[in-house]
Amino acid sequence: MSSLVNLLEKKQQNLCSVFFTAGFPNLQDTPKIISELDAHGIDFIEVGLPFSDPLADGTTIQKSSSVALKNGANLDVIFEQLESLKGKVTAPLVLMGYLNQVLKYGEQRFCQRCKDCGIETVILPDLPMIEYESHYRALFASYGISNVFLITPQTSDERILKIDAMTDAFIYVVASSSITGAKGGISPAQIAYFNRIKSMNLSSTLIVGFGISNQVTFETVCDYVNGAIIGSAFINFLEEKGTGQIQEFVHGIIGA
């Protein structure tokens, strides 16, 4: 059983995850950010792989990717940093990137480096389900890697049920049909969407992302799903205050 699956079985409510882009604000900040998030109670950490064309991401994360790439971040550097943390942090790490990065790096090489770092879960938003079923499902399984699928308000019930049947980590519930980024409060339309998903009685853990930015939005979505991921708000915090006050950010979301 992976460390993330073990976590999801033990804790089923108010799961808090934080996303950041590896190599941002500075190239060597990644290990410190992960260690600080882990030390201050974040349940699992989503590490973004900087990419030149992050289609699912808004301005904030796009900018952080651009800065990280200019800093010299690449998959080799990031994997080396993550491997240095193996066995030193409790919170499971999830890699978020794009399929082209995997293809360019080499599928087998990518999977082996994940395994070497103790990475057991990946999110590739642009991985087509048919490609996953025909190729990546078996490949990932051979390395002990789980794939996370995303659903949106436009995702059909049929596809959601299919994703639920194939999920062995969690389903990423995209809070809106837009790109990532803090949006303010949770709208009535989003509440209706969460209620729709909740009424389907899915077997998978449900984690909401996109637009979760503070304690109020975090607690609101946790009334409907198992937890949430905070991304753009944390990156904005890092840009403004650096890596020395991460405890302040975490306590602002989940309390002291």
Mean pLDDT of 148-157: 96
CA–CA distance, 253 with 57 (Å, rounded to integer): 22
The sheet carrying 170-174 orders its strands as 146-148, 121-123, 93-96, 44-48, 15-21, 227-230, 205-209, 170-174, 150-151
Q: Which of 52-66, 155-169, 222-236 has the lowest mean pLDDT?
A: 52-66
Q: Report the catalytic residues.
A: 46, 57
Residues with Cβ within 8 Å of residue 73, at least 6 apart in sequence: 22, 23, 24, 27, 50
Using 50, 70 and 90 to split pLDDT, how confident is the model at 159? very high
Residues across the chain: 256
Strand partners, 123: 96, 148
| Average pLDDT of the residues of the chain | 93
CA–CA distance, 114 with 83 (Å, rounded to integer): 9
CA–CA distance, 66 with 73 (Å, rounded to integer): 10
Backbone dihedral angles phi then psi of residue 74, each to the nearest 5 degrees: -150, 175
Q: How many CB atoms lie within 10 A of CB 69?
A: 16
Q: What burial class does residue 152 get, using C-beta atoms within 10 Å of its C-beta: 0-12 exposed, 13-18 middle, 19+ buried?
A: middle
- E-only strand ranges, the chain: 15-21, 44-48, 93-96, 121-123, 146-148, 150-151, 170-174, 205-209, 227-230
Nearest Cα residue to 190 out of 235, 237, 229, 224: 224
Q: Collapsing DSSP states into helix, strand and coil, what is residue 168?
A: coil
pLDDT digits (tens, 9 = 90+) for 54-74: 666 678 899 999 999 999 999
Which domains does the chain carry? Answer: 14-254 (3.20.20.70)
CA–CA distance, 19 with 207 (Å, rounded to integer): 13
- Looking at residue 193, its pLDDT comes to 95
CA–CA distance, 118 with 95 (Å, rounded to integer): 11
Nearest Cα residue to 154 out of 133, 178, 130: 178
pLDDT digits (tens, 9 = 90+) for 161-197: 999 999 999 999 998 765 444 455 788 999 999 999 9
- Looking at residue 184, its pLDDT comes to 59
Task: Give the β-pairing of 150-151 and 146-148.
Answer: unpaired
- Looking at residue 53, its pLDDT comes to 76
238-251 CB burial, b ≥16 within 10 A, e <16: beeeebeebeebbe
pLDDT of residue 146 exceeding 80, the answer is yes
Q: Collapsing DSSP states into helix, strand and coil, what is residue 20?
A: strand
